[in-house]
Homo-oligomer: A and B are copies of this chain.
């Protein structure tokens, strides 16, 4: 499949995640604790280095007290 598009999607998701985290004044380690994830993983996710599973999305949403769909609420053009 389109590798750039996938890469871009991961990056967009990461940026969105960062937005939520920073807005709540959380560090990687603080969010990690709430999510039951390792802090280094969150770093990689925010940088778009990982193609995470939706179960992990759920973890993140829980930690941020947000609905999962909010983490996908960013502008994204499917065809380019």
Contacts and interface: CB of A to CB of B under 8 A. Distances in A.
A9 B72 CA distance: 15
Contacts of A65: 78
Interface residues of A, number: 26
A44 to B, nearest CB: 14
A78 B62 contact: yes
Given A54-B9, A54-B13, A54-B54, A72 B78 contact: no
A35 to B, nearest CB: 9
A54 B59 CA distance: 14
9 contacts: A1-B55, A9-B54, A13-B54, A52-B53, A53-B53, A53-B54, A67-B72, A67-B78, A68-B72
